[in-house]
Amino acid sequence: MKKVNVIGLGYIGLPTALMLASHGVEVVGTDYNQSLVQTLQAGKTTFEEKGLDELFGHALDAGIRFSNEYETCGFYIVAVPTPYDPDTKQIDASYVVNAVKTVLEHCEEEAIVVVESTVSPGTMDRFVRPIVAAQKKHVHLVHAPERIIPGNMVYELLHNSRTIGADSPEIAEQVGAVYSTFCEGEIVLTDIRTAEMTKVVENTFRDINIAFANELCKICRRDNMDVNEIIRIANKHPRVNILSPGPGVGGHCISVDPWFLVGDYPEEAKLIHQARLVNDSMPAFVVERIESIAKERGVSDFSRIGLYGLTYKENVDDTRESPTLQLLEHVKKSGKKMPFCVYDPYVTRDLVEGQMHDFDAFLDAVDFVVILVAHQEIRDSLSRLNGKIVLDTRRVCEDDSVYRL
């Protein structure tokens, strides 16, 4: 089996590198961040994820190495970030481009370079291919977009189907063979353009479904109907599967990828655009709910209102584009005076004003709790909310005395 150099050891690159190593592949994980590499070399993982520490142990036993340097070999997996400009809605492909450039400086002739980072459709042709074409060495570009869901990454890495987009069936098969060392799901071979588009379509599908649930939530709020009960019953129909309403859509994927289609196809992508707007409107909708409940219950001191949860979803430590951050940004922009207390067990660094780091102190400080993220901690502590006003945006509480979105 080929040696594999995984470039970028973040949320996707690290589990992928560990998975390959623990299935007998010689792996070197490379990241330009020195402290991250030092942490890994010291035997510690760099983020929290179910099953990651155990997988890390297996990979260390199998001899995985971590480095700041690129290695010379014939197989690379690039899993670097594709940052996104919230104003222009464009991704910045420069990390991918720079990683591929550096790979080209080190790689063997005829090396395979797999890009796993999510890119907007056409990025490989527009930005990556020209770099490869501009130099003498011949390499094979492949796009194999990641599909694993934070919170269940290790399981999904093993079991999800994978898409491999390559210029020829032979190269796609070689890449498929590397992934099939660990992947038990179907490995689908296609071309690069189709692989790029498929990935974005998958996340857009989910965004639209969540937007539908959120729009139903607003409709039901207007006439005091129970949206969750309606969705629960509707979903009994064999061809209906509506997702759950919530305080908004965060994370670096679902709230970002649909914008690529809106940006490139503004005339066609009307539904996709509208869904994004509905999901982006949810944090403001939560603020309206807080204001109306506060009015109803005579709460005037907003510093006694606590926002529970800062991450973009439950049981992860990732705060990118999180609905809570969107909510706080909305409050700031609208000039409202709402000095909330904020707490999240997964966020230990100071991120926002009013943030507290102790759950007990947070509960003592507030009379009104807004559950924005359904972390296991709050699920296990529901009795501690007795006597408080609760707005449950995630359907954590069964108790009908709580307020809902």
| Beta bridge partners of residue 66, listed in sequence order | 29
Q: Which is closer to ligand SAJ, CB of 104 or CB of 372? A: 372
DSSP 65-94: EEESSPPP-SEEEE-----B-TTT--B-TH
Q: Which is closer to ligand SAJ, CB of 74 or CB of 250? A: 250
Question: Looking up tokens 């063979």, which residue turns up?
Answer: 177
For the bound state, the minimum distance from the C-beta of residue 221 to ligand SAJ, rounded and expressed in Å, comes to 16
Segment near ligand SAJ (CB under 6 A); pick from 43-51, 203-211, 266-274, 325-333: 203-211
Residues 40-69 that bind ligand SAJ (CB under 6 A): none
For the bound state, the minimum distance from the C-beta of residue 111 to ligand SAJ, rounded and expressed in Å, comes to 25
Q: Of residues 183, 217, 253, 341, which has the active-site annotation?
A: 253
Binding mask 215-244 toward ligand SAJ (x if CB under 6 A, else -) reads ----------------------------xx
Q: Does 250 bind ligand SAJ (CB under 6 A)?
A: yes
- Nearest-5° Cα angle at 358, 355 to 359: 100
Binding mask 111-150 toward ligand SAJ (x if CB under 6 A, else -) reads -------x---------------------------xxxxx
CA 116/CA 12 separation, integer angstroms: 8
Residues 341-400 that bind ligand SAJ (CB under 6 A): none
For the bound state, the minimum distance from the C-beta of residue 236 to ligand SAJ, rounded and expressed in Å, comes to 17
Beta-strand ranges (E) seen in 37-185 are: 65-67, 75-78, 112-115, 140-143, 162-166
Segment near ligand SAJ (CB under 6 A); pick from 16-24, 26-34, 164-172, 246-254: 246-254
199 assigned to active site? yes
Q: Does 203 bind ligand SAJ (CB under 6 A)?
A: yes
The conformational region for residue 59 under phi > 0 = left, psi -120 to 50 = alpha, else beta, is alpha
Segment near ligand SAJ (CB under 6 A); pick from 29-37, 201-209, 326-334, 347-355: 201-209
Q: Which is closer to ligand SAJ, CB of 104 or CB of 208? A: 208
CA 315/CA 242 separation, integer angstroms: 22
Q: Does 206 bind ligand SAJ (CB under 6 A)?
A: yes
253 assigned to active site? yes
Q: Are residues 379 and 371 in contact, defined by beta-carbon separation less than 8 angstroms? A: no
Q: Does 251 bind ligand SAJ (CB under 6 A)?
A: yes
Q: Which is closer to ligand SAJ, CB of 20 or CB of 249? A: 249
Q: Which is closer to ligand SAJ, CB of 149 or CB of 299? A: 149
Q: How far is CA 310 from the centre of its chain?
A: 14
Neighbour count for residue 284 (Cβ, 10 Å): 16
Closest CA to 262 of 252, 250, 253, 272: 272
Q: Of residues 199, 220, 313, 341, which has the active-site annotation?
A: 199
> In the structure, how many helices (H) and strands (E) does the chain have?
15, 14
Closest CA to 370 of 339, 337, 340, 399: 340
Q: Are residues 240 and 216 in contact, defined by beta-carbon separation less than 8 angstroms? A: no
For the bound state, the minimum distance from the C-beta of residue 322 to ligand SAJ, rounded and expressed in Å, comes to 7
- Strand pairing report for 75-78 and 112-115: parallel
CA 119/CA 93 separation, integer angstroms: 7
Q: Are residues 402 and 368 in contact, defined by beta-carbon separation less than 8 angstroms? A: no
Residue from 23, 313, 395, 404 in contact with ligand SAJ (CB under 6 A)? 313
CA 322/CA 317 separation, integer angstroms: 11
For the bound state, the minimum distance from the C-beta of residue 267 to ligand SAJ, rounded and expressed in Å, comes to 25
Would you name the residues annotated as active-site residues?
199, 253
**Positions in the binding site for ligand SAJ (CB under 6 A):** 118, 146-150, 202-203, 206, 210, 243-244, 246, 249-251, 253-254, 312-313, 323
